[in-house]
Amino acid sequence: MKNSVKKILIIEDEASERNNLLDILTLNGYDAYAVEQGREGITLALQLIPDLILCDVQLPELNGYEVLQCLGKNPLTADIPFIYLSAFAEKEDYRKGMALGADDYIVKPFDMAILLQTIEYRLRKSERMRTAVLPKTGTFDRFLSEAKAQEALLQLSDNREVRHYKKRDVVFKEKDYPHNLFYIQSGEVKLYKTNTEGRELILRIAGPGQFLGYLALLQESPYSENAAALEPASLRVIPKEDFYALLYSNPNVTSNFLKLLANHIHEQEQQLLELAYHSVRKRVAQTIVWLHDQGKGHVHLLRDDLASMVGTAKETLIRVLAELKSEGLIVVEEGNIRVLKMDKLRRIPN
């Protein structure tokens, strides 16, 4: 383990705990990084591709469980050893963390020796698994290729102009010609289409670490959708000439964007099928589940925006939300929707 410095990411909102962990890991020869918010942790994990992540369970906005869910969906971060830190020792908490794919669970206040032993063990196990997979399937080679492509893309966004958008500010409009690729540094952006009557249909919501506008650039055509800030957002602006230069010179980057394009088409096909065949009640439930699974925890959207994602009128949405609330499936608190019974919400019949 000592022949190369291992990178460890700490996600901990308590300053004293965070600084203590930084000191312990640095003194023991690790390259340690720390953030205090779950969203920051996800963004930094995608940039660093650390060898191991230590994450507190009780975090503001996104908790530790939701951070792991987000990282587990990305092939670049899905296999990184993930250790929870928690002040709670309840069996239910432990089972929940492990069921989501965590590698270990350390209860605070922790013993320094046990913490270091656990980290060493998890790093060694990860190394053994990587070595075992490499000669048989080449999976790790593909992983490295994807990681290098991601690193190249992140470098492409470094030191670029940063534009700041207020809530509802337009990033780009449908039918405009693209001149830039956008990288979301913070905040959330909705991608949507409008009909002749001005009604919106939200296609997807993009967050930190994601790119916008690549579809139009790849097709060399006008934007097929609108983009606007759902909340205050900061976007890095990458001139299309720089994007094309990287795209044509790096086959891994080209592959990554082709995958994004395929996923984009698949998501739109699924959305069209749901609009055609699913009831409004089913679509509302699926949308809430989808937003929750994106790592949001509490779903926080204006009623108009949520209705446009579902493809229904705001009045209809309010009625369905009231029904789900009366059935004990969700709670609506100050504009937030919190899921109480996820399994039942997922299985709502059409």
- The mean pLDDT of 45-74, rounded to a whole number, is 87
Assess whether pLDDT exceeds 50 at residue 50: yes
My answer on whether 117 and 30 are in the same domain is yes
Q: Using CA atoms, how far apart are residues 271 and 273, in angstroms rounded to an integer?
A: 5
Task: State which of 81, 105, 137 marks the end of a domain.
Answer: 137
Q: Is residue 117 part of a domain?
A: yes
pLDDT tier at 32, thresholds 50, 70, 90: very high
My answer on whether 113 and 17 are in the same domain is yes
Q: Is residue 266 part of a domain?
A: no
Assess whether pLDDT exceeds 90 at residue 12: yes
* DSSP assignment letter at 330: E
Greatest Cα-to-Cα distance within the chain, rounded to the nearest angstrom? 65
My answer on whether 11 and 112 are in the same domain is yes
- The 3-state secondary structure of 199-243, one letter per residue: CEEEEEEECCCCEECHHHHHHCCCCCCEEEECCCEEEEEEEHHHH
Report the CATH number at residue 184. 2.60.120.10
Q: Using CA atoms, how far apart are residues 198 and 265, in angstroms rounded to an integer?
A: 24
* DSSP assignment letter at 61: S
Report the CATH number at residue 115. 3.40.50.2300
The answer for residues whose C-beta is within 8 angstroms of residue 319's C-beta and 6 or more apart is none
Structure tokens at 76: 């670049």
Q: Which long-range contacts (CB under 8 A, 24 or more apart) does 206-209 make?
A: 207/39, 207/294, 208/39, 208/42, 208/43, 208/184, 209/42, 209/43, 209/46, 209/184
Parent domain of 339: 278-346
* pLDDT tens-digit map of 70-94: 888 777 788 899 998 887 655 566 6
My answer on whether 112 and 187 are in the same domain is no
Domain count for the chain, please give it: 3
pLDDT > 90: percent of the chain = 22
Q: Is residue 263 part of a domain?
A: no
Q: Using CA atoms, how far apart are residues 161 and 75, in angstroms rounded to an integer?
A: 29
- The mean pLDDT of 212-241, rounded to a whole number, is 89
Q: Is residue 142 part of a domain?
A: no
My answer on whether 199 and 315 are in the same domain is no
From residue 26, give the alpha-carbon distance in Å to each of 3, 29, 64, 237.
16, 5, 23, 35
Q: Is residue 77 part of a domain?
A: yes
Q: Is residue 149 part of a domain?
A: no
The answer for residues whose C-beta is within 8 angstroms of residue 255's C-beta and 6 or more apart is 145, 149
* pLDDT tens-digit map of 160-175: 889 999 999 999 999 9
My answer on whether 202 and 103 are in the same domain is no
Whether the bond between 232 and the residue before it is cis, its omega within 30 degrees of 0, is no
* pLDDT tens-digit map of 281-332: 888 887 777 777 655 455 666 677 777 777 777 788 888 888 888 888 888 8
Contact predicate 205/230, CB 8 Å: yes
Q: Is residue 273 part of a domain?
A: no
CA pseudo-torsion sign 129, 130, 135, 136:
positive
My answer on whether 289 and 167 are in the same domain is no
My answer on whether 187 and 130 are in the same domain is no
My answer on whether 14 and 58 are in the same domain is yes
From residue 113, give the alpha-carbon distance in Å to each of 120, 312, 324.
11, 56, 49
Report the CATH number at residue 327. 1.10.10.10
- The mean pLDDT of 204-228, rounded to a whole number, is 86
Task: State which of 137, 167, 194 marks the end of a domain.
Answer: 137
Q: Is residue 269 part of a domain?
A: no
- Looking at per-residue confidence, does 50 or 331 come out higher? 50
Q: Using CA atoms, how far apart are residues 334 and 233, in angstroms rounded to an integer?
A: 22
Contact predicate 229/167, CB 8 Å: yes
My answer on whether 185 and 116 are in the same domain is no
* pLDDT tens-digit map of 103-148: 888 888 888 888 999 999 889 888 776 655 444 444 444 444 555 5
My answer on whether 132 and 164 are in the same domain is no
pLDDT of amino acid 233: 92
What pTM does this model have?
A: 0.45
pLDDT of amino acid 137: 43
* pLDDT tens-digit map of 227-271: 999 889 999 898 888 888 777 766 666 666 666 666 666 565 555
Q: Is 214 buried (19+), middle (13-18) or exposed (0-12) by CB count in 10 A?
A: buried
The closest alpha carbon to 270, from 317, 225, 311, 215, belongs to: 311
My answer on whether 113 and 211 are in the same domain is no
Task: State which of 243, 259, 292 marks the end of a domain.
Answer: 243
